[in-house]
């Protein structure tokens, strides 16, 4: 191989990596009902806890079930948004079948990690510190933002919180 082919092979490799990074960056994520955080949190001002009801009290934040959607997506409510009424129908079907919505999990730590929302929310850590713009995005990205062992460690170190392996691992 001469210098030039080595160079172009490297260039192609870099290109391939860039393309795959871009492809991952653009990946969107299917949920059983296409949900829109921006609409509910930013435009309608519904707070996170209204739908993620156990975030202050439990380890897990909780994903909403039909009863929470029915609170607003009810027959007879006037809305100019056709999607609003589509959701009313979809939700009614779930309700009739007494079925829960099976949301796909985006944030999902391996089982050897110990994590609690209650402890972090209680200490005043904001949702955005760990979830970035998830709560304000129009479509779920399918990629957990900001969560890795490094990001946990960074914040713990900055705030003088335990970084012993066994604090976070079992």
List binders of ligand HEC among 17-46 (CB under 6 A): 31, 33-37, 39-41, 44, 46
113: three-class secondary structure by DSSP: strand
Q: Which stretch binds ligand HEC (CB under 6 A): 9-17, 20-28, 92-100, 155-163?
A: 155-163
Whether the Cβ atoms of residue 95 and residue 66 lie closer than 8 Å to each other: yes
- Asked if 127 is part of the footprint of ligand HEC (rule: CB under 6 A), the reply reads yes
- Asked if 62 is part of the footprint of ligand HEC (rule: CB under 6 A), the reply reads yes
First to last CA, the chain: 51
> Which one, 39 or 92, has the nearer CB to ligand HEC?
39
Task: At 169, give phi and psi (nearest 5°).
Answer: -125, 145
Smallest distance from ligand HEC to CB 75, Å? 14
Return d(Cα 104, Cα 117) in angstroms, integer. Answer: 19
């Amino acid at each position: 191989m001469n210098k030039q082919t080595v160079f172009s092979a490297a260039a192609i490799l870099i290109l391939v990596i860039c393309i795959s990074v871009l492809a991952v960056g653009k990946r969107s994520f299917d949920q059983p009902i296409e949900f829109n955080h921006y609409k509910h949190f930013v435009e309608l001002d519904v707070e996170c806890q209204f739908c993620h009801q156990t975030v202050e009290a439990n380890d897990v934040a909780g994903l909403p079930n039909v009863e929470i959607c029915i609170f607003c997506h009810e027959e007879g409510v006037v809305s100019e948004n056709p999607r609003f009424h589509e959701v009313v129908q979809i939700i009614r079907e779930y309700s009739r079948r007494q079925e829960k919505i099976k949301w796909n999990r985006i944030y999902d730590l391996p089982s050897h990690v110990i994590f609690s929302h209650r402890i972090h929310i209680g200490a005043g850590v904001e949702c955005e510190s760990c979830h970035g713009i998830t709560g304000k995005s129009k479509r779920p990205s399918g990629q957990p933002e900001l969560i890795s062992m490094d990001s946990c460690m960074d914040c713990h170190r900055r705030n003088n919180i335990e970084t012993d392996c066994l604090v976070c691992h079992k």
